[in-house]
Structure formats: structure tokens, C-alpha cells
Amino acid sequence: MQFESSASFAQRMDADDPLAAFQDQFHMPLDQKGQKCIYLCGNSLGLQPKSVRESIEQELQDWQTFGVEGHFHAKNPWMRYHELLAEPMARLVGAKPLEVVVMNTLTVNLHLLMVSFYRPTAKRYKILIEASAFPSDQYAVKSQLHFHGYHPDDALIEVQPDDGQAWISTEKIEAVLAQQGHEIALVLLGGVNYYSGQAFDMARITAAAHAQGCVVGFDLAHAAGNVMLHLHDWQVDFAVWCSYKYLNAGPGSTAGCFVHERHANAVDLPRFAGWWGHDKATRFKMGPDFQPIAGAEGWQLSNPAILPLAALRASMAIFDEAGMANLCAKSEKLTGYLEFLIEQIGGDAVESITPKQPEARGAQLSLRLARDGKAVFDRLSARGVVCDWREPDVIRIAPVPLYNSFTDVYRFVEIMKEEMHGLGRNFRRS
């Protein structure tokens, strides 16, 4: 693709974008002057689909009308409400409906699935993660190690980035697996790393880890709704993700989880059980003995919160309408355009630390600023650009294909250049 650094080129790209109309399905936040923001923070909190309000109001209305009978008589009876999410969620992550469930929040699901899938033995007890994994994942993993009587100094393997890079090559992970795989019980990686924006080669890593007898889980917080996933075909053992980043289901909304079909009837796996994971046919017999539902639903604990699920349903309908493959095709161009414009700036003032290959990233570039990073970020914020700052020197930019345009990307880079210039930094004007 031949890009150009001009407003008219960005407008032409938008005019040719078959997904351009989706922007209208979202509420765009306004800046202090009442103008639409340039919102590039969908990797942190996705925007509100306009259809969410109606979806939630339906449940408020049914609660008002039916009270407890809403479990059966609501337009979408609450008793089976979460089941409405299984098919769209399965399509999104490349799974069978049996393999996915929406429940709880991400870190809770990570713990619940580690209870079942981190089964250390005397010889095989280590956990492999990526260095600088999201803090919550580090805390969850370390606390699981302690819970089983191990110490992270010995039992936690953190794969470091390749020399001079922010990302980790698949070869490096394969080398660690070849050397230490026989001691590793669990490989747990972020599908897309939150800091570097690197998308891991989940198929290859899963195969390499399985060849060593390790169980493989992925945290897809930054991958779900962002990159193509084929969890079933890749043979991933389990995965978890939240729904408020690329999935646009609102702050703290209900999370997802995947358990591969081959574990669907593994009743011998230890798990922390609750009544909502119990066989539906006998759940209300209120018996004392737990019989799990086959598949991911068997890991549920509680009857789910319907209001966040209503938001998630509205959002998933948009993903079905747009199609993940179409979104990924646009995303590749949009992030590619951002990268092109950043490279045009020249000099050493700003560089992307995200991998360059389109298959090794999603809708994010992490920009490292050589100087005055925080000051540039503050100036961007003051001008209505919403992005985020990560210590010590990184601004994360997420051009989201559902609601960001090529013009958003172009305007963002223009504003950044102006603000860097305003701070008296020399760089070649493109």
C-alpha cells in the first residue's frame, strides 16, 4: 500500500473504507470545547455503542414489569441470557459455542482457570510468562505459585524481550521451551502484549509448548476483538479476556473465557464450583453434589449480572455485522498508515516500539518519545487527543477500525508534530 502524508489522502482512504459508517454507531466523547475528540484509546476503554442504551433499557423495563418472573418472562429470559452470548463470542475468538462462556471479570477468570489448569507436580511446576506482563497477570500467577507452595524466584520463568527490542521473538520462546519445557506446567502469555502491542504467534507457541507437555493459556485482554483468533484450531487449552477494551461493552463489563472442547467433560479436573456451573436439568433441585455442565459453562459460579451482559450483546451484534476479517483488514491499513506517518517525522524524537510485521500486531502502536514524553502527552490531551501514557516514555495509540478513521490518524500525527515543535524540539518537517 502506497501511503501519502496529506489530509486529502486520508480523506480518500476514508471515502473508500467500507466500514466507515460504523463510526456513527458509537458515541464519540467531546473535548473541553465541545468538539469531538480524536479517540485513540479503545485498547483501554472502548467507546459506547449507541445501541447499548436500548439493550440495557429493555432489561430495566423487564425487571420493572416482571420482577423475579423476568428470569422466565423477560423478552430475553435472564435464566438463559448468557447463552445468547455464546455464539457471537465463539465466532469472535474462533471457538465452538460449547467452548466459551461470559462470566465474572478477567482476573477472576484467570484465577478460576488456573485452579483447573495449573496442576504442578514435583518435576513439572513452573509457569512461563512474558517479561513485563500486565501487572494483574503477574500478581495472579505469583499468588497461584505461592498458593501451591512454590516461590516465583524458582518457579516463574519470565521470557525477556529480544536484545534492543520491546518484543519477544517466537524463536526465543521456542528455545526456552526446548530447554526448560519439561519443568514447565503452564505457559501463560498475553495474546497481544498491552505495552509493546506485540501479537504473539499463538498457534506456533501452543504447538511448541504442547510438544513439551505444557498446558497453554492466553490472556486475550488486548487480542479479543482486535486480531483474528482461532482458539479451537490452535488447540489452546484455555483463554480469558475482558470485554471493555476492544469489545466496547463498558467499564468493568463481563469477561469471557474459553476452555478447549477436549476438556469439556473433564469432570476430574479440580475446579472451584458454584451453582451456575451445575447441570441445568438439576440445578433447581438444589442437591448437595456438584455436577458440572459440559464445556466452559461448567466453570460458572454465579448467576450473571444481566445489565453488563445487555451491553455486551449490543456490542457483539456490531462485531457480527462488521465481521472480524473485515475489521482486521481495515486495522492493518489504519495502523500501517499511523506507522508511515510516524516514520515520516524522521529524526530520533519518536519511534514505534511495536513489531513492524502486520501479523505481529493489532490496532496499536506504542510510541517511544526520546524527550519530553509526558509533556507531549499532556499537550495532546489538552488538544482533545485521547490516548494513554505508560511510564517511562511511551504513548500508546490505538486506531480502532470500528470507529477510527484515516483522518483521525492523520490529524493526530499533525497535532503531535505541532506540539513537539512547540516544545522546541528539532525534527525534520515532512
Ligand X SMILES: *Cc1c(COP(=O)(O)O)cnc(C)c1O
Q: Cβ closer to ligand X: 135 or 164?
A: 135
x/- track of binding to ligand X for residues 64-83 (CB under 6 A) = --------------------
What is d(CA 224, CA 241) in angstroms, rounded to the nearest whole number?
A: 7
x/- track of binding to ligand X for residues 191-230 (CB under 6 A) = ---x------------------------x-xx--------
Among 161, 190, 256, 292, indicate the residue that binds ligand X (CB under 6 A).
190
Q: How far is the CB of 110 from ligand X (least distance, A)?
A: 7
What is d(CA 254, CA 310) in angstroms, rounded to the nearest whole number?
A: 10
Q: Give the angle subtended at the CA of 94 by the CAs of 92 and 99, to the nearest 5°.
A: 100
Q: How far is the CB of 193 from ligand X (least distance, A)?
A: 8
Q: How far is the CB of 255 from ligand X (least distance, A)?
A: 6
What is d(CA 417, CA 347) in angstroms, rounded to the nearest whole number?
A: 12
Among 23, 25, 107, 212, indicate the residue that binds ligand X (CB under 6 A).
107
Q: Cβ closer to ligand X: 137 or 408?
A: 137
What is d(CA 261, CA 236) in angstroms, rounded to the nearest whole number?
A: 10
Q: How far is the CB of 423 from ligand X (least distance, A)?
A: 30
Is residue 303 part of the contact set for ligand X (CB under 6 A)?
no
x/- track of binding to ligand X for residues 234-273 (CB under 6 A) = --------x-------------------------------
Q: Cβ closer to ligand X: 78 or 134?
A: 134
Q: Cβ closer to ligand X: 105 or 291?
A: 105
Q: Cβ closer to ligand X: 145 or 342?
A: 145
Distances (CA, A) of 147 to 144, 150, 314, 331, 335: 5, 7, 39, 41, 41
Q: Cβ closer to ligand X: 128 or 376?
A: 128
Within 118-237, residue ranges assigned H as helices are 135-147, 152-155, 170-180, 202-211, 231-234
Residue with cell 483474528: 228
Q: Give me the sign of the Cα torsion angle 405, 410, 411, 415.
A: positive
For the record, the C-alpha cell of 221 comes out as 485482554
Q: How far is the CB of 65 from ligand X (least distance, A)?
A: 32
Candidates 6-14, 102-110, 202-210, 378-386; binding stretch for ligand X (CB under 6 A): 102-110
Q: Give me the sign of the Cα torsion angle 339, 344, 345, 346.
A: positive
Q: How far is the CB of 135 from ligand X (least distance, A)?
A: 8
Q: Cβ closer to ligand X: 217 or 355?
A: 217
**Phi-psi bin for 248: left (phi > 0), alpha (psi -120 to 50), beta?**
left
What is d(CA 319, CA 313) in angstroms, rounded to the nearest whole number?
A: 10
Q: How far is the CB of 239 from ligand X (least distance, A)?
A: 12
DSSP helix/strand/coil, 417: helix
Q: Cβ closer to ligand X: 124 or 390?
A: 390
Q: How far is the CB of 138 from ligand X (least distance, A)?
A: 9
Q: Cβ closer to ligand X: 396 or 417?
A: 396
DSSP helix/strand/coil, 241: strand
Residues 129-148 close enough to bind ligand X by CB under 6 A: 134, 136-137
Among 105, 132, 170, 180, indicate the residue that binds ligand X (CB under 6 A).
105
Q: How far is the CB of 245 from ligand X (least distance, A)?
A: 6
Q: How far is the CB of 136 from ligand X (least distance, A)?
A: 4
CA atoms within 13 A on the CB side of 302: 9
For the record, the C-alpha cell of 69 comes out as 418472573
Note whether 169 and 198 are within 8 A (CB): no
Q: Give DSSP secondary structure letters for 258-285.
A: EE-GGGTT-TTS-----GGGB-TTTGGG
Q: End-to-end distance of the chain based on CA atoms, in angstroms?
A: 19
| CA-only gyration radius of the chain, Å | 23
The angle that helices 406-422 and 7-15 make with each other, rounded to 10 degrees, is 160
Q: Cβ closer to ligand X: 166 or 349?
A: 166
* DSSP run (H or E) holding 15: helix 7-15
Candidates 77-85, 104-112, 177-185, 327-335; binding stretch for ligand X (CB under 6 A): 104-112
Residues near ligand X (CB under 6 A) are: 105-107, 134, 136-137, 190, 194, 219, 221-222, 242
